Amino acid sequence: MPSLQDGSNSKPASDEELQKFRVGELKPHNAPITLVEYDPRWPELFDREADRVRSILGNKALRVEHVGSTSVPGLCAKPIIDMLLVVADSADEPSYVPALEAAGYTLRIREPEWFEHRMFKGPDIDINLHVFSAGMSEIERMLRFRDWLRANDTDRDNYARVKRNLAQRVWRHVQHYADAKTSIIQEIMDRANAAK
């Protein structure tokens, strides 16, 4: 799904394009995006879920990180905990997918062309568990973006303003909302990368 993630596709992805990477039925959103103010319980929810993932996968979970807007104090967000799980090889699904599914996680996205990304929904907490192979550049990009927003109130607040404006629109799919944030994310990442 690189064209949907890197901003190279200015048109919203079609249902057919989105279904290509979806595991299970693609259901349209057809509504504005719900954003809520930062909730100090989000890190606790992440910790609980991270402990569960580590207990399920043991040493196959090389790294578990809280990412996305819920990981940034003071930032509004969709009330969904984004988690980053690093495994040795995300394409080697038999090494981790059955264990996660047995514990109630549901594989929803499989994107072999985009960093071998996989994404699961959680069994009881609203999460997106993003799985990548060790060494993928997207891992460091996600962490750099999170860390930059945590340390830079101006960029955090600007990002929040753009998110709030975009969230008011009716989006056929949540992915379209995510894609619409590409330019502000790239602008912020350019500053973060220049500062490293």
Query: For 166-176, how does the pLDDT look when each residue is reduced to its tens digit (9 = 90+)?
Result: 999 999 999 99
Q: Which two tokens stand for residue 123?
A: 């069994």
Cα 145 to Cα 3, 71, 90, 154: the distances in Å are 20, 11, 22, 14
> Does 5 reside within a domain?
no
> Does 148 reside within a domain?
yes
Q: What is the pLDDT of residue 3?
A: 33
3-state helix, strand, coil in the chain (%, to 5): 45, 20, 35
β-pair partners for 40: none
- CATH number of the CATH domain containing 43: 3.30.460.10
Q: How confident is the model at residue 178 (pLDDT cuts 50, 70, 90)?
A: very high
Asked whether the beta carbons of 75 and 160 are under 8 A apart, the reply is yes
Query: For 99-152, how does the pLDDT look when each residue is reduced to its tens digit (9 = 90+)?
Result: 999 999 999 999 999 999 999 999 999 999 999 999 999 999 999 999 999 999
> Considering its fold, how many domains does the chain have in total?
1
> Does 3 reside within a domain?
no
pTM of the model: 0.91
Asked whether the beta carbons of 144 and 187 are under 8 A apart, the reply is no
In which domain, by residue range, is 189 found? Answer: 20-195
> Does 6 reside within a domain?
no
Asked whether the beta carbons of 164 and 87 are under 8 A apart, the reply is no
> Does 7 reside within a domain?
no
Between CA 145 and CA 71 the distance in angstroms is 11
> Does 84 reside within a domain?
yes
> Does 179 reside within a domain?
yes
Determine the distance from the C-alpha atom of residue 74 to the mean position of all C-alpha atoms in its chain, rounded to a whole number.
Answer: 18
